């Protein structure tokens, strides 16, 4: 009986030994609850460390893609804006040298001024003065030098954006002064068929003055009288967005222009 109990006790000790060595550490120590929790925590950290770089790389790729799209949209918007601005300057803008034409009907006609970028282009600025053409011709013949000042008011009650968007050459109404004397008002006009016919008739003339014969070939079959004109090249000087000046270039006056036109917004 004693032999059986001794053998069973040896078997139990062996079984206990093998179990403890199976679940123990490499040093043969039995792991505690703290070591087990440390191992589990380390495995979780390893998993998180493997997931974080992947998420970071994905976020960076998405951010780069969004930046590329934003830059592409900005470039396309700037391109369109640049093209529109170029087209606007081509259609309405004037350079430092322009073609100026002064004309009006001899009998009872008002003075018209037209400035063109080229002799064949549409007028960028066409204005009608209250002064009769015959009176302006007399003033130029008597004094030799004519200074015409056109003044307009700034829109104080209008919104600032609207006022800034309006170009000086687009102002509709002007006060007129000829050699310092007030001469009524002037108004900006659209180039109609009559005005365009006159500009086309004097298109081959680079500099000079004369009279166009009257005819009845207009659209309303009305008799049109003789048209007096003066055509020359003008030097355009822009002082600011509220001031411009046009000086007639005439080599026969020793550098002194016979006709000068000033646009002022006050």
pLDDT attached to residue 37:
54
Residue 258 pLDDT level (bands cut at 50, 70, 90): confident
Among candidate residues 160, 95, 155, 150, the one with its CA nearest the CA of residue 124: 95
Tell me whether residue 48 is exposed, middle or buried, using C-beta atoms within 10 angstroms of its C-beta: 0 to 12, 13 to 18, 19 or more. Answer: exposed
% the chain with pLDDT above 70: 58
Q: How far apart are CA 105 and CA 132, in angstroms?
A: 9
Q: Please write the tens of the pLDDT for every residue from 14-71.
A: 444 443 444 444 444 445 555 545 554 555 555 545 544 555 667 777 777 776 666 6
- Worst-scoring range by mean pLDDT, 7-11, 139-143, 176-180, 196-200? 7-11
pLDDT attached to residue 43:
57
User: Is 0.75 surpassed by the pTM of this model?
Assistant: no
Residue 159 pLDDT level (bands cut at 50, 70, 90): very low
Q: For the chain, give the mean pLDDT.
A: 74
Q: How far apart are CA 148 and CA 131, in angstroms?
A: 11
Q: How far apart are CA 5 and CA 2, in angstroms?
A: 5
106 in Cβ contact with 213 (< 8 Å): no
Name the phi and psi angles at 118, rounded to 5. Answer: -130, 160
Q: Please write the tens of the pLDDT for every residue from 181-221.
A: 999 999 999 999 999 999 999 999 999 889 999 765 555 54
Q: Within 13 Å, how many C-alpha atoms sit on residue 210's CB side?
A: 11
Q: Please write the tens of the pLDDT for every residue from 219-255.
A: 554 556 899 999 999 999 999 999 999 999 876 655 5
Residue 173 pLDDT level (bands cut at 50, 70, 90): very high
Q: Which helix (H) or strand (E) holds 201?
A: helix 193-201
CA distances, 130 to each of 35, 127, 138, 174 (Å)? 105, 10, 15, 11
Does residue 266 carry a pLDDT above 80? Answer: yes
């Amino acid at each position: 009986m004693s032999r059986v109990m001794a053998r069973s006790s040896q078997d139990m000790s062996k079984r206990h030994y093998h179990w403890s060595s199976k679940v123990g550490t490499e040093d043969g120590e039995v792991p505690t609850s703290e070591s087990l929790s440390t191992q589990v925590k380390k495995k979780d950290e390893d998993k998180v460390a493997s997931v974080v770089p992947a998420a970071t790389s994905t976020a960076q790729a998405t951010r780069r893609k969004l930046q590329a799209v934003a830059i592409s949209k900005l470039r396309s918007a700037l391109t369109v804006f640049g093209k529109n601005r170029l087209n606007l300057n081509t259609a309405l803008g004037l350079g430092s040298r322009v073609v100026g034409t002064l004309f009006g009907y001899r009998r009872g006609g008002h003075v018209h001024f037209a400035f063109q970028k080229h002799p064949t282009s549409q007028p960028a600025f066409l204005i009608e003065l209250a002064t009769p053409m015959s009176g302006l011709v007399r003033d130029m013949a008597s004094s030799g030098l004519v200074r015409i000042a056109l003044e307009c008011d700034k829109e104080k009650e209008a919104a600032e954006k609207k006022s800034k968007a309006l170009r000086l050459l687009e102002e509709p109404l002007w006060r007129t002064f000829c050699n310092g004397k007030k001469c009524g008002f002037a108004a900006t006009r659209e180039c109609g068929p009559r005005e365009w016919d006159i500009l086309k008739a004097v298109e081959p003339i680079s500099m000079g003055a004369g009279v166009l014969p009257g005819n009845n070939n207009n659209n309303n079959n009305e008799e049109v009288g003789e048209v007096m004109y003066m055509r020359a090249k003008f030097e355009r000087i822009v002082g600011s967005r509220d001031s411009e000046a046009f000086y007639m270039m005439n080599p026969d006056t020793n550098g002194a222009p016979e006709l000068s036109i000033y646009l002022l917004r006050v």
